[in-house]
Amino acid sequence: MLAAKLSGKVIQNINSTFSGGGVAEILSRMVPLLQQLGVDARWNVIKGSDEFFQVTKKFHNALHGRPERISAKDFALYLKTTQKNIAELELYGDIVFVHDPQPAALVTKKKELGRKWVWRCHIDLSHPNPEVWNFLQPFVAQYDAAVFSAPAFSRELPIRQFLISPSIDPLSDKNKELDQQTIDSVLAKYGIPKDKPIITQVSRFDYLKDPVGVIQAFELVRKSIDCRLAFAGGTASDDPESDKVLAEVRQRAGDNPDIHILLIPPGSDMEINALQRASTVIVQKSHREGFGLTVTEALWKGKPVVASAVGGIPLQVKNRFTGLLSYGIEGTAYAIRQLLTNPDYARWLGENGREHVRYNFLITRHLKDYLLLFLALEHQEDIIHL
Amino acid sequence: MIEWLADNWLKIAIPLLAFLATYVVGLWLRRVVDNLSRRWRAKTRWQGSQIVARTVRRPFLLWFLLLGICIAILVSVLPPEAKNMTGKATGSLFVLSFGWVAIVLSEQLLKLYLARVKVSQPTTALAINVVRITVIVIGVLIVLDIWGMPTSPLLLLIAVAVLAAALAFRDAVPNLFAGFQLGATQQIKVGDYIKVETGEEGYVTEINWSNTHIRALDESIIIIPNSRLLRGTVINYGRPLKKAKESFHFGSRTHLTELTGLKAKNLRELVDVLKRAPDAIIYYHTHHFLEQHHYLTPEPSNDFAIWVSDALGDEVLGERLASVDTFGFPNLGALRERLVAIIEEYLSSGSNFREAMPGREFHFMKSVSVTLPTAYVVHDLREFVEALRKISLGSLYFHVFESRLRLGRGLNDFSIWLQDSLDESELGEEISRLDPYTYTLEGLRSALIQLIEKRIK
């Protein structure tokens, strides 16, 4: 019924990459589902040079609150690439749904085209670098609405702001049920024996995910409990920094046979799924996090989770209720120890976590929220009768 | 002539006497049969007994007349050819009269039973014609056989036709017989509320020769083959209950969370925003936890209480805010006043000037509700309780929580409908007295179903 109300409208999604990272993953699921519901949803990406993506990576880090040196030349390159994309990209949507900062300035075309424009921010904007935010804010203010993943990410803006959490697809390769044979074969492929409890973090090789901090926390746990660490990560085409981080992580891990640093190629969703399912505890020790879909995936698999209280993670991990929140390396190690030594408690947290995801973070809820968002653009009132 | 009669009177008298004797026996037998039939009809409750007695009585004497003629000719001195011809003729007449009786009898019985299962007029006519043709064909075959004419080609033709018909109607036949059985046993009648094991349910609106029609809760008509009703398990709740003056249309509700950009880091800021916050903000922070964690927490606190306890570390005020009974307020304005009064009273005692750590501020949000109709429409308590089992939790939430406080109706929608449209004031009141905030949504659904089932019984 909600979809029928959008009949005749074209929803044009625009982001910076078709693969790698949470945004592309969500869109690759969301767009076909919207189409199946009869909504004319389409997806385009902007083009940019490596330099452009290095600049947007700096923007990304800076918006997450990391110190970055951004020069006037960087801003100029961003604007130049935006103008090039405006010239080359056909903006045909009745609702132009722009994801993240890379294509955010496309909205300058709105004055000419009209229509409804929505900016979907997947980034933790709670402590943005003022220089970058002040640069982007005038663009964001031109949109009809902005969407954030957590309340703390919202900014003072003259436009309506909505809270929509991202989601996972329970039927995707990354989240579907797997048999023990498949799980064992993936462990064997990556040379991970099943002899000890496995602590896992799945995330890109990115400073914001604090991979070195994860190793330090593991080493603290390892002093009293025999276990293994699996750090499984990949890279994204719009993240030029990941190779450097990977090298640092490998160096920090040294030749410890209980630490497994796994570079997972893109598209290995089932392997990620198997690693998560094989884990005893799943960790997400990020410094900053947009929403933390890897946490959602872990909770969905009924695994006890220890995660930093950043970004959208507190929305998912209700401390001592659906998982454990931590604030530092020692706290993370303490929480992991608690779970390893209390398997019944760990199981209870895992079960609660799965229920929490079932009701709040599956793609069906996400899909419904997007439909409501598109409808809300036409209504200003608080109660909409359809 | 007189001389011939004097010579042959015996040849005439014997057949005549035989004929008269047979006729008299026929008269006597009809009386006996009449008596037996009267007793049988008095004993049996079968409605068809009248039809059988009436139909068979009429040709009874005719059959004895024919028998008398047949016997008279057999004992006469007529030549064998003539006797043979007469025997065949009377035999044929007997077959034809018997066929006529069979047709009349089956027509009347069919009309009786097909009317019971509410079969349409054209279908009844079709069934009668099928029986007529069958009896006529059988009669003709027998007559042909009596006259010594070959019947094999005709039988073969009929067999082929019957086989073709059987193949064409192989699915319809079991349903037809099941329809007869439903009509005869009266296990399911038009007007009953039934639930089939495969999930279909609703009021029976029609039972015809092949299907049973039921009106589902979304007012769609479900057509179920009769044979399935006999094969599977069917719960029959019986006749309809009292109809409501106005039907109840179940709605549903979903919502989008809007960020307001307003935030508070201490109690003073919290209460300042609370005083001027629109109802949508008050509603969101006193209800969203209920929806988000309905499966785990029977009695959720409001967001203000949780924030004061967790972020400001003030368990005392947190408890006071958590104990605010949302159910006790007729509207959101009154609820806001109470929350503000508690915080201001606490502030005036100089108890709390703590500030939340950066990142732990209270973010004010509001709920943009989208209400939408569902397919469920109910007209009485049976339909109402069955719909309650099926509606989404969003729908239940809408009628119990949203309508009472947010849409300002004062009562939940169910109680209003029960009292105003169904004159079920007592049940409506019982439901309105349930504090829905003390249940999980599934628990609330069960409690409502229990109350209504008890009332139906």
Over the stretch A53-111, which tens digit does the pLDDT of each residue have?
Answer: 899 989 998 998 888 888 999 999 999 999 999 999 999 999 999 999 999 999 999 98
Which range has the worst mean pLDDT, A136-145, B119-128, B369-378, B446-455? Answer: B119-128
pLDDT at residue B300 in the model: 55
pLDDT at residue B122 in the model: 67
| B141 contact partners, CB below 8 Å, separation of at least 6 | B151, B154, B155, B158
Most confident of A46-55, B41-50, B123-132: A46-55
- The amino acid at A209: K
CB contacts of A356 in chain B (<8 Å) are: 293
Decide if B254 and A152 are in contact by the 8 Å CB cutoff: no
Tell me: pLDDT of A197 over 80.
Answer: yes
Decide if B368 and A384 are in contact by the 8 Å CB cutoff: yes
pLDDT at residue B295 in the model: 56
What is each CA distance from B212 to B219, B223, B239, B255, in whole angstroms? 15, 6, 16, 40
CB contacts of A156 in chain B (<8 Å) are: 261
| B17 contact partners, CB below 8 Å, separation of at least 6 | none
Decide if B256 and A164 are in contact by the 8 Å CB cutoff: yes
Tell me: pLDDT of B418 over 80.
Answer: yes
pLDDT band at B309 (very low <50, low <70, confident <90, very high): confident
pLDDT at residue A34 in the model: 92
CB B237 within 8 A of CB B192: yes
Tell me: pLDDT of A206 over 60.
Answer: yes
Decide if A161 and B261 are in contact by the 8 Å CB cutoff: yes
Query: SS3 for B254?
Result: strand
pLDDT band at B88 (very low <50, low <70, confident <90, very high): confident
pLDDT band at B376 (very low <50, low <70, confident <90, very high): very high
d(CA B120, CA B129) in angstroms, rounded, equals 15
- CA of B311, closest CA in chain A: separation in Å? 13
pLDDT band at B428 (very low <50, low <70, confident <90, very high): very high
Decide if B371 and A372 are in contact by the 8 Å CB cutoff: no
Does residue B365 sit at the A interface (CB-CB below 8 Å)?
yes
Closest residue in A to B372 (Cα) is: A386
CB contacts of A355 in chain B (<8 Å) are: 295-296
Q: Which residues is A117 bridged to in the sheet?
A: A96
CB contacts of A375 in chain B (<8 Å) are: 370
Who has greater pLDDT, B68 or A277? A277
Decide if B371 and A161 are in contact by the 8 Å CB cutoff: no
Q: Is the pTM of this model over 0.80?
A: no
Closest residue in A to B294 (Cα) is: A359
pLDDT at residue B351 in the model: 67
Who has greater pLDDT, A27 or B76? A27
The mean pLDDT value for B165-182 works out to 78
The mean pLDDT value for A244-259 works out to 91
Which uninterrupted H or E stretch holds B397?
Answer: helix B393-397
CB B243 within 8 A of CB B292: no
CB contacts of B260 in chain A (<8 Å) are: 161
Which range has the worst mean pLDDT, A70-79, A119-128, B223-232, B345-354? Answer: B345-354
pLDDT in tens, B314-335: 888 999 998 888 888 888 889 9
pLDDT band at B302 (very low <50, low <70, confident <90, very high): confident
The mean pLDDT value for B88-94 works out to 86
CB–CB contacts below 8 A, A to B: 75
pLDDT in tens, A123-132: 888 889 999 9
Q: Which of B256, B372, B376 is the best substitution to test chain A (most A C-beta atoms within 10 A)?
A: B256
Angle between helices B48-75 and B80-116 (to 10 degrees): 180
The beta-strand segments (E) located in B216-296 are: 221-225, 234-238, 248-264
Who has greater pLDDT, A140 or B189? A140
Share of chain A above pLDDT 70, in %: 98
Closest residue in B to A366 (Cα) is: B256
Query: SS3 for B294?
Result: coil
pLDDT at residue B117 in the model: 63
Average pLDDT, chain B: 85
- CA of B289, closest CA in chain A: separation in Å? 12
- CA of B370, closest CA in chain A: separation in Å? 5
Joined tokens for residue B456? 């139906």
Q: How many CB atoms lie within 10 A of CB B85?
A: 14
Decide if B258 and A161 are in contact by the 8 Å CB cutoff: yes
pLDDT band at A170 (very low <50, low <70, confident <90, very high): very high
CB contacts of B368 in chain A (<8 Å) are: 372, 376, 382-384
pLDDT at residue A239 in the model: 65
pLDDT at residue B86 in the model: 83
Decide if A163 and B367 are in contact by the 8 Å CB cutoff: no
